[in-house]
Amino acid sequence: MNLVQHNAVYNMLSLGIASMLFTSLFLWIARDRVLPKFRMAVMVSATVTSIAAYHYFRMFDSFKEAYPVGGTVDAGFAGYNVGYRYVDWLLTVPLLLVELVAVMGLARAMQKSLLTRLVPAAAAMIILGYPGDMHTDLWGIPNVGWAILSTIPFLYILYVIFIEIGKSLAAQSERVQRLLKGARLLLLATWGVYPITFAISLGQGTAAPSFDAVVAREIGYSIADILAKCAFGLIIFTVARIKSAEENKEFAATEFKD
């Protein structure tokens, strides 16, 4: 790996650490700036970025050791722990969906119905994607096969958040509707980066991806993570603030002074 490639990934992982860490600090400190009813959504957002911050530290260290300047492709592929990303996603992707449902203030039965379908689907999407990204050809299934299998729960999640959750948006105020629709589109756009980046690094069978593919994968995944976790979490916080003001005039007078 040459110096330019190494520094590109090194700096992007560093940006990921900073983004996750300081978004976490902000959300934990600011969680009391919303009504208790919506506080859980903000705390889940902070949990997501906190988990991600920890894993970005681990990925940063793993990358430095596996891909030194001048190192070989095979040694880097063998030494870099891709599992850190997948453990992170296994924990945080379901929680992103919990954030979205929690901040809407839906009836408890509706929340339970949505989450009992979304959380397992999110976990299945991550678990099915891991063997392909590891280039294992597990059980004789090629990398692209795992990508296709992972796409099935992904499409189901999109159906639920755009069709079923979409029906509940009518009960929200115009401003909240606009933000939540933007949050859904942000998830769609950022989650769409993952399969594109995954495809770039597919390679052939169990062969190690090229250095260019590794750089594209790590930069693409990191940008998508920052947007899907930090930006999404800040949108959720903003929605919680607005809904708190809409439901409590005293809160609005205190928090939104002219």
For the chain, the C-alpha Rg in angstroms (whole number) is 20
Two structure tokens written together for 188: 């769609």
| pLDDT for the residue numbered 130 | 82
| pLDDT for the residue numbered 48 | 97
CATH of domain 3-255: 1.20.1070.10
pTM of the model: 0.89
| pLDDT for the residue numbered 258 | 55
Residue matched to tokens 């991550």? 126
Residues 124, 126, 129: CA angle, nearest 5 degrees: 105
Question: Which of 48-82 are b and which e, b meaning 16 or more Cβ less than 10 Å from the residue's Cβ?
Answer: bbbbbbbbbbebbebbeebbeeeeebeebbeebeb
| pLDDT for the residue numbered 253 | 80
pLDDT 10s per residue in the chain (258 long)?
899 999 999 999 999 999 999 999 999 999 999 999 999 999 999 999 999 999 999 999 999 999 999 888 888 888 898 889 999 999 999 999 999 998 888 778 888 999 999 999 999 999 988 887 766 666 767 777 878 888 899 999 999 988 888 888 888 888 999 999 999 899 888 888 777 776 666 654 556 778 888 898 899 999 999 999 999 999 999 999 999 998 888 888 877 765
Please report, to the nearest 10 degrees, the dihedral formed by the alpha carbons of residues 96, 39, 55, 209 taken in order.
Answer: 20
HSE at residue 133, side-chain half, CA atoms within 13 A, is 24
Alpha carbon of 170 to those of 105, 118, 166, 243: distances in Å?
13, 21, 8, 14
